[in-house]
């Protein structure tokens, strides 16, 4: 496979999610939508520490493997379904991080408690109905409950986070984990922690994306 800049970005993101303590064992996966609309995705069952550029797999939007010697992640259907539904999403990070997993077994929705979460995620995080890992049914649930925000919690499983770049998707994953941690810990102190209203969240998200876009255009 020819060298892709996105391969380096994915290997870096694997390092980053480990650094942020979002990884347990080999579970979780990362993908990027390439310019030709194919998907570069991490392989199934290879530890992040051992993963090399040549282990990454390129698939088309129908889930067919185009390049690579490994099996693509078992959650490929979920990645494909998200890219088909959300034109703004160019990268996806799926992890079984601790607080997202706790929330996945105890909550129906994770309200946002702080400004940074509102800016990064753009809305409260929904929890899917339970579906078996790797299935089309789970992929459909994820797309529905993700809606237009940047993270969703998968019932009795973990979390999936998205972004317009892989850097943004990693940030969404970190903030999803933080959102779950804050809410779970807040519930230990109060039965009804004060949560941000959807109106306030949208206001902060709009301000963030506007200034962020300007900053990015300036850099480019
Ligand atoms: Zn998983």
Give pLDDT tens digits for 162-186.
Answer: 999 999 999 999 999 999 999 999 9
> How far is the centre of ligand 1, averaged over its atoms, from the C-alpha of 9 (Å)?
21
How far CA 156 is from CA of 13, 112, 162, 183, 188, in Å, comes to 24, 20, 20, 17, 21
What letters, b where the CB count within 10 A reaches 16 and e where it falls short, cover 37-72? ebbbbbbbebebeebeeebbbbbeeeeeeeebebeb
Q: How confident is the model at residue 211 (pLDDT cuts 50, 70, 90)?
A: confident
Q: And the tokens for 117?
A: 């979460």
pLDDT at position 118 over 70: yes
Q: How confident is the model at residue 49 (pLDDT cuts 50, 70, 90)?
A: confident
> How far is the centre of ligand 1, averaged over its atoms, from the C-alpha of 138 (Å)?
10
Average pLDDT over the chain reads 94
Q: 169 Cβ partners below 8 Å, 6+ apart?
A: 13, 30, 89, 91, 92, 93, 150, 161, 162, 163
Alpha carbon distance 53, 32 (integer Å):
14
Instruction: Tell me the pairing of strands 29-33 and 39-41.
Output: antiparallel
> How far is the centre of ligand 1, averaged over its atoms, from the C-alpha of 162 (Å)?
15
> How far is the centre of ligand 1, averaged over its atoms, from the C-alpha of 128 (Å)?
13
Of the options 3.40.225.10, 2.40.40.20, 3.40.50.720, 3.40.50.970, the CATH number for the domain spanning 5-219: 3.40.225.10
> How far is the centre of ligand 1, averaged over its atoms, from the C-alpha of 156 (Å)?
10
Q: Which of 15, 35, 75, 109 is catalytic?
A: 75
Active site residue 19: no
Alpha carbon distance 206, 187 (integer Å):
28
- pLDDT the model gives residue 215: 66
Chain segment 9-21, per-residue pLDDT in tens: 999 999 999 999 9
């Amino acid at each position: 496979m020819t060298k892709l800049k996105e391969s380096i970005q994915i290997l870096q993101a694997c390092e980053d999610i480990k650094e942020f303590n979002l990884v347990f064992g080999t579970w979780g996966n990362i993908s990027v939508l390439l310019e030709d609309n194919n998907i570069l995705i991490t392989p199934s069952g290879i530890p992040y520490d051992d993963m090399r550029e040549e282990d990454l797999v390129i698939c088309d939007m129908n889930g067919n493997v185009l390049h690579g010697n490994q099996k693509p992640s078992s959650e490929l259907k979920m990645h494909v379904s998200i890219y088909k539904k959300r034109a703004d999403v160019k990268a996806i990070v799926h992890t079984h991080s601790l607080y997202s997993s706790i929330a996945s077994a105890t909550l129906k929705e994770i309200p946002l408690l702080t400004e940074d979460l509102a800016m990064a995620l753009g809305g409260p995080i929904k929890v899917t109905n339970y579906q078996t890992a790797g299935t089309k049914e789970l992929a459909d649930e994820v797309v529905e409950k993700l809606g237009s925000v940047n993270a969703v919690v998968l019932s009795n499983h973990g979390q999936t986070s998205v972004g317009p770049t892989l850097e943004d998707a990693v940030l969404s994953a970190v903030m999803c984990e933080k959102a779950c941690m804050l809410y779970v810990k807040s519930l230990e102190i109060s039965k009804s922690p004060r949560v941000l209203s959807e109106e306030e969240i949208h206001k902060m998200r709009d301000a963030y994306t506007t200034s962020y876009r300007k900053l990015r255009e300036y850099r480019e």
